[in-house]
């Protein structure tokens, strides 16, 4: 069974490799086969390394700035935003992709800046951290094999675990509220563990807000035996009445596996998981 959590892939050493990874991930997210890397090193790029026409923008243009940096602050983001304002034709969406780990305070600052930019008619602003890119790679065998072939053998075992979860019956899972642990009874080596409550982060996206209750983001880790296999982000909504796996940032959708994971996470809830998916406009891919 797996011994390496492919959701925690090592950050590439070169900017060229990092940009290639971002381009491949973005092409998948945008569903745009004509996603293009902008010019070459040394040419004026106006803060845009990658551009294309994402399906969710109905023909409008989006751009991405790639920064293979493990430490990022708002000043760096704002500097690239200012450059991207001069890109032609104008962008409707701008994504800052970096190699830094997820940073909740920076995410909030970016959300606030995005709101200002949108109100001024500039563009919507998004940020992708290495955690987001790494998870996208670990969920796509073709891209994982292309950029991290050394981890494909582990990924084959990972696929087996994900397939077991996808095909499992909800009644086969038991939940220990004291430990925050879900155990798969047909194979008790397979379990899902929730982050401790104190490790939750405020999540301010509009879709996760119910009245005065903002979302709460936390991590779940899937184990086989003593080995962590995969991590994923989940958002508790409506004062923790339902837990929803983090949907795709562009399509606002879940894969069938993520949908099944959500069903398992909600087995102890008295509330209707599918109802909350509808209320948050989160869809399931087919």
Q: What confidence tens digit (pLDDT) does each residue in 27-65 have?
A: 999 999 999 998 665 444 678 999 999 999 999 999 999
Mean of pLDDT values over 242-269: 93
Q: Has residue 270 got a pLDDT over 80?
A: no
Domains of the chain: 6-134 (3.40.1350), 168-284 (no CATH)
- What CA–CA distances, in Å, run from 26 to 108, 158, 223, 250? 22, 23, 29, 10
269 vs 157, higher pLDDT: 269
Q: Which of 88-92, 137-141, 157-161 has the highest mean pLDDT?
A: 88-92
pLDDT-based confidence at residue 2 (cuts at 50, 70, 90): very low
**Banded model confidence at residue 144, pLDDT cuts 50, 70, 90:** confident
Q: Which of 86-90, 113-117, 223-227 has the lowest mean pLDDT?
A: 223-227
Residues whose CB falls within 8 Å of the CB of residue 174, separated by 6 or more in sequence, listed in order: 182, 183, 185
Residue 258: name the closest of 245, 241, 271 by CA. 245
Tell me what the mean pLDDT of segment 111-120 comes to.
96
6 confidence band (pLDDT: 50, 70, 90): very low
Lowest-confidence region among 68-82, 116-130, 259-273 = 259-273
Q: Is the pLDDT of residue 152 over 80?
A: no
CB 53 within 8 A of CB 92: no
Residue 277 has pLDDT above 60, yes or no: yes
More confident residue, 117 or 230: 117
Q: Cα(first)–Cα(last) distance of the chain, in Å?
A: 28
Does the pLDDT at position 7 exceed 60?
no
């Amino acid at each position: 069974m797996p011994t390496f959590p492919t959701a925690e892939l090592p950050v590439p050493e070169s900017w060229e490799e990092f940009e290639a990874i971002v381009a491949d991930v973005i092409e998948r997210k945008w569903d745009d086969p004509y996603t293009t890397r902008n010019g070459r090193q040394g040419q004026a790029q106006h803060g845009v390394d990658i551009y294309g026409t994402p399906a969710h923008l109905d023909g409008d243009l989006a751009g991405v700035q790639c920064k293979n940096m493990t430490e990022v602050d708002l000043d760096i983001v704002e500097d690239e935003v200012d450059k991207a304002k001069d890109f032609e034709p104008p962008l409707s969406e701008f994504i800052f992709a970096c190699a830094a780990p997820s940073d909740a305070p920076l995410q909030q600052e970016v959300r606030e800046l995005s709101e200002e930019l949108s109100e001024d008619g500039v563009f919507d602003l998004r940020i992708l951290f290495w955690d987001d890119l790494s998870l996208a790679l670990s969920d796509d065998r073709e891209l994982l094999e292309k950029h991290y072939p050394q981890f494909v053998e582990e990924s084959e075992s990972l696929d087996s675990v994900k397939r077991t979860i996808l095909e499992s019956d909800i009644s086969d899972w038991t939940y220990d509220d004291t430990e925050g642990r879900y155990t798969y009874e047909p194979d008790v080596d397979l379990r899902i563990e929730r982050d401790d409550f104190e490790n939750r982060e405020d999540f301010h996206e509009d879709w996760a807000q119910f009245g005065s209750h903002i979302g709460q983001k936390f991590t779940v880790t899937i184990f086989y035996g003593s080995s962590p296999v995969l991590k994923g982000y989940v958002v508790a909504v409506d004062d923790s009445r339902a837990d929803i796996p983090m949907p795709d940032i562009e399509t606002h959708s879940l894969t069938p596996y993520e949908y099944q994971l959500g069903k398992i996470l909600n087995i102890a809830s008295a509330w209707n998981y599918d109802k909350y998916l509808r209320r948050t406009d989160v869809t399931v891919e087919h």
